[in-house]
Amino acid sequence: MPKLFLGIEEASVSFGQGEARVRALRDVSLTFEKGTLSLLMGPSGSGKTTLLSMLGCLLSPDKGTVFVDGEAVNELSEAGRTVIRQKKISFVFQAFRLFHSLSALDNVALGFEIRDAAASGREEMARDLLLQFGLADKLNLEPNELSPGEKQRVAIARALAGNPPILLADEPTASLDAEAGKNICKILRRQVDDQGRTVVVVSHDPRWEKFADRTITLCDGRVEEQVGVL
């Protein structure tokens, strides 16, 4: 069997002990093909975020294996998983999580700095990315001066700094109005079509379905349904 690009095998995660124990994921196996956009749906508490955290090397399963770019990462040390995140994975959050004291440009430039501290021309690269997302006149604004849609575009630019092959987004449009949300859907879709990135989006938003290659529905820590190409 060829090594998985991105996926989990027989992974279980639980939180807490004894009576309070919550089984967030139960023996889940999933693969995410390179260059696809997968949508993770399911009711609140079904384990979507837990799954995304595992794929993002932010959480190790109690048992099972996590693959990132063909490498089993669940046995790596914290430092080892940090390096995987630095080189290969980026995140987009519902709450944007921009650095409040930095301008849009500096937020993205910091994304470059984290991925490659020695890289020169970080500001130019950051500017290019922001121009692509229609933020030419917002470069020097700070997060609190931006609209939610603009913040999310800056956050995506920061996530794309350094060109990571994998992008994981948790409810990226939940804080946005319809117009801004659709814009984000298109931007992430373009990352798959134009750049060949692998994108996993967690969302309740049914609008995502037509942008996704596949929709996975979780329920009670298990895969309930998979629709679309694998």
Partner 1 sequence: MKLALQNILHDRGRFSVTVLGVSFAVFLMVFQGSLLSGFLQAASRLIDASDSDIWITARGVQAFEFGTALESRVREMAAGVPGVTDTSRVCMAFAVYRTPVGKQQVVALVGADPGVGRRFPVPDRLESAGEMSPDAVLYDVSDRKQIDVNELPAEVEINRHRASIEREIRGYGAFLGVPFLFTSYRNAVRYMDSGPEQGMYILLRVDQSYSISQVQQNLKQRLPEVDVLTQDEFAHKSRMYWTIKTGAGGAILTAAVLGFLIGLVVVSQTIYANTMENIEEYATLKALGASQAFVARIVLSQALICGMIGSVLGLLAVIPSINYAKSLIPWIHAPWWLPGAMVVPSLAMCSLASIVSVRSALTVEPGRVFRA
Residues that bind Mg ion (CB under 5 A): 49
Question: Binder to partner 1 among 111, 165, 172, 181 (CB under 8 A)?
Answer: 111
When the beta carbons of 164 and 181 are compared against partner 1, the nearer one is 164
Contact 214, 226 (CB under 8 A): yes
Beta-bridge partners for 25: 13
205 forms part of the interface with partner 1 (CB under 8 A) = no
d(CA 41, CA 218): 6
Of 35-43, 62-70, 84-92, 209-217, the segment contacting partner 1 by CB under 8 A is: 84-92
d(CA 106, CA 201): 26
Question: Binder to partner 1 among 52, 126, 146, 216 (CB under 8 A)?
Answer: 52
Listing from the earlier edge strand, what are the strands of the sheet with 37-41? Answer: 89-92, 166-170, 198-202, 37-41, 214-219, 222-228
Selection from partner 1, Mg ion, ligand ADP, none that 110 binds (CB < 5 to 8 A by kind) is: partner 1
Contact 84, 76 (CB under 8 A): yes
Between the alpha carbon of residue 97 and those of residues 6, 16, 81, 171, 186, the distances in Å are 25, 27, 21, 13, 21
When the beta carbons of 33 and 220 are compared against ligand ADP, the nearer one is 220
Provide the mask over 134-173, with x wherever binding to partner 1 is found by CB under 8 A and - wherever it is not: ------------------------xx----------x---
d(CA 116, CA 138): 24
Selection from Mg ion, ligand ADP, partner 1, none that 46 binds (CB < 5 to 8 A by kind) is: ligand ADP
Total number of residues that touch partner 1 (CB under 8 A): 32
Closest CA to 70 of 162, 7, 10: 7
Which spans of this chain sit near partner 1 (rule: CB under 8 A)? 49, 52-53, 56, 58-59, 79, 82-83, 85-87, 89-91, 93, 95, 97, 99-102, 106, 109-111, 114-115, 117, 158-159, 170
